[in-house]
Amino acid sequence: MFGRLLIANRGEIAARILRACKTLGLESVLIYSKADRNAPWLDEADTTICVGPAAASASYLNQDAILQAAEQTDCHALHPGYGFLAENARFAARCEQQGLTFVGPTAGAIRRMGDKVSARQAMAQAGLPTIPGSDGTVADAQEASRVAQRIGFPLLFKARAGGGGKGMRRCECEQELGPAFAEASAEAGSAFGDPSLYLEKVIVRGRHIEFQVLGDAYGAAVHLGERECSIQRQHQKLVEESPSPVLEPSERESLGARVVQAMCAIGYRNAGTVEFLRDREGLFYFLEMNTRLQVEHPVTEERTGVDIVVEQLKIAANEPLRIRQDDVRFRGHAIEFRINAEDPTRGFRPDPGTIVGFDPPKVDADGVSVRWDSAIRSGYRIPSHYDSMIGKLIVHAPDRPLALAGARQALASMRIEGVQTTIDLHRRLLEDPGFCAGDYDIEHLAQSAVLEA
């Protein structure tokens, strides 16, 4: 294991990575911006170092400042967390050039999966089903029209450099292709600096189901099962659970095996997530691969008992994976609720401010546990410069009905005062018949009464 780790992130994930350092007896250095100088998660670090002013572009995204901080504090490795620089291939390459181990996949794997066209090609070649669509990018509406004749409507233009829904346009018919191409291309160009587009057939009312994987430096890989993340709003996930209410154990085994095979085929190293859309007939299609630790990783940790961050650190230190696929056991049901400081009466826009009262979630039921991944406390002032997520409530129970009952208890017991949050939304979701029955898809939340505050 390396000697000292730079944690290049903030908030709950900085606290989470710090916890993994303690588990491994690893020294840690935490970076922070001026806006975070009194932040609660800094208290636990061995060393802290300021990397710049409040604006993320000047601090948590400031590659030069972060690389210099690593050098100054004599760190041997860097964990990027999620967001910020976690999927920046150039940054990963710069770390390695400096002799700093990037805790994540190689720069090459990040680049390959960040390009959604090459990701699709790589995964198709590695044996995963992909959504019918164009071979590579489409140059203009004429080419799109030829693809449409082959695969039919509705179609989606997607950005090659995309993800998160930016640069996506849906077309119902031939006449829409021209304007949709122009809009999607312009949006992709300004958002990603790359206007290239590709086409896919629309999967209507799909479910978003993703597999967690781990791969080591010696070509071994395992999967840790799936998470269902279909409860989302404007491409922001709000609830994630495992198992998916619609995945049979035999399907988990067969799809999981294909995912592992694909990871071996591309030589994937460290933690990753392979996303699928499941259509209404139950068919799975590869969507994207995320080459980072994800926000919702605790759902998998609760269900498998594997500490994913500890595994990431061991893999980065060139230790072989000790987990064998046959040893991975899936226990009970885990569900995560993202608690964001957002105002439901104002379209869930971020509601930063000072937390003046805080009671953590509690549950008292046999076999039911709560986990609260957060770095807030009473008196904490949420800066306006960053993401609005302030904590994650994770409930683990023997089965889904008990997990939902535990979640109702936990959400009733917790209290955050001073800012508006998504707590009430989750309380209403737990009364929604479709959600409670496990009968939902990516459009469910928008079409339910849950958002009506």
Annotation marks residue 292 as catalytic: yes
Cα separation, 225 vs 270, in Å, equals: 16
For residues 313 and 79, the answer to whether their CB atoms sit within 8 Å is yes
What residues have CB less than 8 Å from 239, skipping those under 6 apart? Answer: 229, 231, 335, 336, 337, 338, 426, 429
Smallest distance, ligand MV4 to C-beta of residue 118, A: 16
Cα separation, 312 vs 78, in Å, equals: 11
In 245-384, which ranges are E strands? 270-278, 284-290, 333-340, 342-343, 349-350, 357-359, 369-374
For residues 327 and 224, the answer to whether their CB atoms sit within 8 Å is no
Q: Does 114 bind ligand MV4 (CB under 6 A)?
A: no
How far does the chain reach from its first CA to its final CA, in angstroms?
Answer: 50
Q: Which stretch binds ligand MV4 (CB under 6 A): 89-97, 159-167, 172-180, 297-305?
A: 159-167
Among candidate residues 251, 218, 249, 396, the one with its CA nearest the CA of residue 321: 218
Binding test (CB under 6 A) with ligand MV4, winner from 163, 272, 391, 418:
163
Q: Which stretch binds ligand MV4 (CB under 6 A): 63-71, 106-114, 197-205, 212-220?
A: 197-205
Backbone angles phi, psi at 96, to 5 degrees: -65, -40
Q: Does 311 bind ligand MV4 (CB under 6 A)?
A: no
The amino acid occupying position 242 is: S
Task: Identify residues 223-252 at the interface with ligand MV4 (CB under 6 A).
Answer: 232, 235
Q: Which two tokens stand for residue 407?
A: 């979640």
Query: Which of 45/110 has CB closer to ligand MV4?
Result: 110
Smallest distance, ligand MV4 to C-beta of residue 50, A: 34
Smallest distance, ligand MV4 to C-beta of residue 319, A: 32
Query: Which of 75/209 has CB closer to ligand MV4?
Result: 209
Cα separation, 297 vs 273, in Å, equals: 10
Q: Does 288 bind ligand MV4 (CB under 6 A)?
A: yes
Query: Which of 203/220 has CB closer to ligand MV4?
Result: 203
For residues 117 and 198, the answer to whether their CB atoms sit within 8 Å is yes
Q: Which stretch binds ligand MV4 (CB under 6 A): 62-70, 161-169, 252-260, 325-333?
A: 161-169
Q: Does 200 bind ligand MV4 (CB under 6 A)?
A: yes
Which one is catalytic: 292, 303, 338, 371? 292
Query: Which of 169/396 has CB closer to ligand MV4?
Result: 169
Query: Which of 277/403 has CB closer to ligand MV4?
Result: 277
Q: Does 161 bind ligand MV4 (CB under 6 A)?
A: no
Interface residue list for ligand MV4 (CB under 6 A): 131, 156, 163-165, 200-203, 206, 208, 232, 235, 277, 287-288, 442
